[in-house]
Structures are given as structure tokens and as C-alpha cells.
Amino acid sequence: MRWVAAAVFLAAALLTGVLVGPVDLGALAVVHATFAHIFGLHSPLSGSDDAILWQLRLPRVVLGALVGGTLAAAGAAYQGVFRNPLADPYLLGAAAGAGLGATLVAAYARNSGLSGDLLPLAAFAGAGVAVVAAYVLGRSAGAAAGPAALVLAGVTVASFFTAMQIFVQQQHVDTVQQVYSWLLGRLSTAGWREVGIIAPYAFASWLILLGHRRLLDVLAVGDDEAAALGVNVGRVRLLVVVAATIATAAAVAVAGLIAFVGIIVPHTIRLLFGGSYRQLLPLSVIVGAGFLVFADVIARTIMSPAELPIGVVTAFFGAPFFAVVLRTTRRPA
């Protein structure tokens, strides 16, 4: 039942994503043309319509689904390894690191003609450096300090990287707009190239995270008890964090910082279907993919032809939702 509902939600999102736009393509023709492309057959659409579908809408929808599924799964995984309902994929400083990387490129390499290629790369590297720094710092507090030390290290690293980012930005005020639009997240530049950048990371991380779904349930009973059940807690935490972080960094590199997906989606699933990671992780991938595609449809239609940053849409729905989560998760002790 829950699987059917999630699959229908994703299918509806994908179809809405390719159908909604200034040019009406027709649902049947779109599905037909999509399969025609995949299997190398002749597309029923006219040349320009076919280009709209294949070059503009489809890569954007696919990218949205990959980014959404990745952020939701990474968020769920972070919440699991840190046993912290507020954990999101950016918890260990990935956002701040990516922000610094992007800002450095915008400030120092903007006239090199390479900034379009360099920016995702720098964001990816920045996110990686920040998380590694947080992990090393957190571990130096000793394994006994547990997940709390890691979270504090993440906060520390994030503040430091954000401070550096703001400093660089202040020195190069002309970069503010480019950095700002990047920080709010966007899928508007989506093409198959972006899909190609994130796809391997997304699929690899989904595979690793889903492989850990049972072990994340074990971690939920605490580090000591998990260890007493024969689990190497440190290794599980490291593997999950690495997988979630690489995927998050890839998502950030192609789509900027899209807030709240990693929190809203897993928590909705917890409320509706329970908190076991056996269901939570796969459902997060499916529902997260659908959610971000829907959010993108809203982002590009609500003020059409102008586009709203997708991070604004997810946060606009995310903040009220968060209030609901906080209220409904208040249970008698």
C-alpha cells in the first residue's frame, strides 16, 4: 500500500513535470516520445516540441528527481546515524563548504570563462573538505563522545566556512547576485550534462544507504547496545556519512543548496508509515524524488515566465510543515 502510494506520487510528479510548461505537448505523446528516445525509435513529436521535451523538460525533471531522492535519503540517513531528528544533509558543514567553494570561483575565476564548469567542481570540493574537517574534529573528541561531538564539530566547521565565505563575498560585492541565486538552489540550468554529473553519485549512494537500512535500525537503540549486538558502530557511521555526504555534495554541485527536503520528506514518511529505516530509506528516495519535481513545477510556473528559486519553494512548504512535525511528535514521555 505504502509502496504503491509512493510510486503513484513519483509517477504523477514526473508526468506533471514534463507536461507543465508554456508549450502543451500532450500526455500520450510525451510518454510515447520518451520511450521512443530511450529505445532509439522515431519520436511522434515535431522537431521543436521534441527538443523541448528531450533537451529542456526531461533532463530537468530527471535532475530534480535525482537531487530530491538523494537529499531525502541523505537526510534520513543523517538523522539515523546521529539519532537527531533535526539532522539534515548539510549538518556536517556540506552547505557551508560548498558555499565557500562556489563563492571563491565566483570571486576569483569569474572572468576565466571557466566559472560555469568550475563552480560545481568547487562546490563539490568545498562540501567534501568541510565534512572531512568536521569528521576529523569530531573524532578527535574521542569515540566515546558519540554522535553529539560530531554534530558540534559540524556546527563549528560550518560557522568557520560561512565566515570565510561572507568575507570573500564582501571583498567582491559584484559576485553577490551569482552566489545568492546559487545558494537558493535552482534546476533551471539543467541539461543531460548535469544529470550525468550527479547520476553515478546518486545511484552509488542510494545503493550504499539502502544497504545500511537494517543497521540504521540497530543504531537507533544506542551505540552501546548496537555494539553489544555485534555492530561496529564507528564503521557504520563512517560509511553512511561518507555515502550521504558524497551524494549531497554532488547534488549541491548541480542544483545549489536546496533546503528542507532532507528534513520534510523523511519526517512525513515517519509520521505516516513509522520510523523503521527498512521502509524509511527506500520511501525517502521515491518520495523525495517526487517532492522535488513537484516543487520545481511550482517554482517555474507560479510567477511564470520568471522563476522562483526552488529553495524558496521547499522552504515555504518546509517551515510550516516543520511546525506540524514538532507538534505531532510531542508524545507523552
Partner 1 sequence: MSALALDSVSVTLGGARIVESLGAAVEPGEWVALIGPNGAGKTTALRAVAGLVGYDGAVTILGDDAAALSRRDRARVLALVPQVPLIPGDISVREYVLLGRTPYLTYFGSERRRDHDAVDAALEQLDLLALEHRRLDTLSGGERQRATLARALAQDAPILLLDEPTAALDVGRQQQVLELVDSLRTQRGLTVLSTMHDLTLAGQYADRLLLLDGGLLVAAGAARDVLTRSLISEHYGAEVALVDTETGFVVVPVRGGTIGNGA
Which residues of the shown chain bind partner 1 in the complex (CB under 8 A)?
83, 211-212, 214-215, 217-218, 220-222, 224-225, 227-232, 270, 274-276, 278, 331
Using the minimum distance from each CB to partner 1, give the nearer residue, 55 or 232: 232
We find the least distance from the C-beta atom of residue 235 to partner 1, in angstroms, to be: 9
- Measured CA distances, 3 to 7, 136, 255, 278, 287 (Å): 6, 39, 27, 12, 10
- Residues 205, 246: contact at Cβ < 8 Å? yes
Using the minimum distance from each CB to partner 1, give the nearer residue, 19 or 220: 220
Using the minimum distance from each CB to partner 1, give the nearer residue, 174 or 224: 224
Q: Look up residue 254 and give its amino acid.
A: V
We find the least distance from the C-beta atom of residue 270 to partner 1, in angstroms, to be: 6
The C-alpha atoms of residue 88 and residue 72 are separated, in whole angstroms, by: 9
Using the minimum distance from each CB to partner 1, give the nearer residue, 3 or 35: 3
We find the least distance from the C-beta atom of residue 297 to partner 1, in angstroms, to be: 31
Cell numbers placing 315:
522552504
We find the least distance from the C-beta atom of residue 86 to partner 1, in angstroms, to be: 15
Cα 162 vs. chain centroid, distance in angstroms? 19
We find the least distance from the C-beta atom of residue 52 to partner 1, in angstroms, to be: 42
Q: How many CB atoms lie within 10 A of CB 211?
A: 13
Q: How many CB atoms lie within 10 A of CB 64?
A: 28
Cell numbers placing 116:
560555469
Using the minimum distance from each CB to partner 1, give the nearer residue, 108 or 322: 322
